[in-house]
Amino acid sequence: MPLPKSVTVVEVGARDGLQNEKTVVDAADKIAYVDLLSRTGLRWIEATSFVSPKAIPQLADAEEVFAGIRKAPGVRYPVLVPNLKGYERAKACGADAIAVFTAASQAFTKRNINMSVEESIETFAEVVRRAKSDGMWVRGYVSTAFGSPFGDAVTPQMVRDVCVQLTELGCDQLSVGDTIGVGVPTQVDEIVPLLVRDIPLDRLAFHFHDTRGTALANVYAALQHGVAVFDASSGGLGGCPYAPGATGNVGTEDILYMLQGMGIETGVDLALVRAASRFIRGVIDHDLTSKAFQALEAAEARVATS
Ligand code: COA
Ligand code: ZN
């Protein structure tokens, strides 16, 4: 199959990234970060999560953040919702795109959202029904699709079954996630053909964490199967507090650098993403893991000292 001519990058740094920071970032800084991301050409920017503040204290300010960001024309700002309570909160703020989230691993799902996978599908049936009747766009996350942090088995068939159920509920897009960054390209080669038997290719997104350095290899494998939507985090932020050992997503700068070099259109300005990453690095006060970000910083430092 020819590689896609263009790819959509879904920016998840403000959600997947900031949910995993030790320090709670002020709402004003979150808003400034999202506003910087909104200027980059990204068309999908996950803004926050309307989850229990006890589960994710880092995003307890979802209302304030969502209300405060300047919504750029042509950009969608999906928000995570785990249940009807989260849905009502998101709707009250004017969200028009949501993401529900379950997983292939039962053990992870229980710890993450205190439900079995089956219970999560039941919960989301009503959430998605309401969202669709309210005219919203809905994404369904399937986490731990490449392995569980708790050692329980995850098979491609289990991933496929959850994806099909979410599609039947009415999800517009599925994001198949390697939450703990254990996946390798041969797993991608197995999973994508299995999924596209039942799910249109253009509804599939992949979400790779780079914990073991395989994220870009996995992106490339998925591109070869025609997948054209990928999640990424500016600077390589990211991780899930309920997935021990999970580190950041593939860096937005990294995926943009690779796609640009391959002649694949994204419509996103890498330099402007880097500016957003620099801003958030100053707030969280630790180094960022994106290799392309680091290389650009190092090149600039060399110029400055020469
Ligand atoms: N927003 C705000 N508060 C919520 C909420 C929501 N969406 N859902 C539940 N709550 C509150 C309830 O009101 C209740 O509050 P109380 O103790 O003051 O009465 C409390 O949380 C417990 O509610 P319950 O329905 O029993 O939920 P739970 O304890 O079984 O937790 C979830 C289930 C889904 C709410 C919780 O596990 C969660 O938010 N998980 C998200 C994890 C996450 O975001 N992970 C990272 C993304 S992969
Ligand atoms: Zn993630």
Nearest CA to ligand 1 atom 44: 51
Annotated active-site residue 93? The verdict is: no
Q: Which of 52, 58, 233 to mutate to test the pocket of ligand 1 (most atoms within 8 A of CB)?
A: 52
Which atom of ligand 1 lies closest to the CA of 113?
37
Which ligand has its closest atom nearest to the C-alpha of 60?
Answer: 1
Q: Find the 52 Cα to ligand 1 centroid distance in Å.
A: 4
Residue 1: band (very low, low, confident or very high) from pLDDT cuts 50, 70, 90: confident
Which atom of ligand 1 lies closest to the CA of 143?
48
Alpha-carbon distance of 163 to 11, in angstroms, equals: 21
Q: Find the 54 Cα to ligand 1 centroid distance in Å.
A: 7
Helix or strand holding residue 142 (H, E)? strand 137-143
Which atom of ligand 1 lies closest to the CA of 19?
46
Which ligand has its closest atom nearest to the C-alpha of 101?
Answer: 1
Cβ neighbour number for residue 184 with a 10 Å cutoff: 15
Q: Find the 150 Cα to ligand 1 centroid distance in Å.
A: 21
Cα dist from 277 to 25, 219, 301, whole Å: 14, 21, 16
Cα dist from 112 to 4, 97, 212, 250, 291, whole Å: 34, 21, 22, 21, 29
Q: Is the pLDDT of residue 306 over 90?
A: no
Q: What is the pTM of this model?
A: 0.98
Supply the DSSP string of 90-124, one letter for each residue: HHHTT--EEEEEEES-HHHHHHHHSS-HHHHHHHH
Kindly state the DSSP code that residue 132 receives in the 8-state scheme. H
Q: Is the pLDDT of residue 269 over 90?
A: yes
Q: Which fold has domain 8-305?
A: TIM Barrel (3.20.20)
Residue corresponding to tokens 């020819």: 2
What is the average pLDDT across 68-74?
98
Residue 261, token pair as written in the block: 């070099």
Kindly report, residue by residue over 212-266, the tens digit of the pLDDT.
999 999 999 999 999 999 999 999 999 999 999 999 999 999 999 999 999 999 9
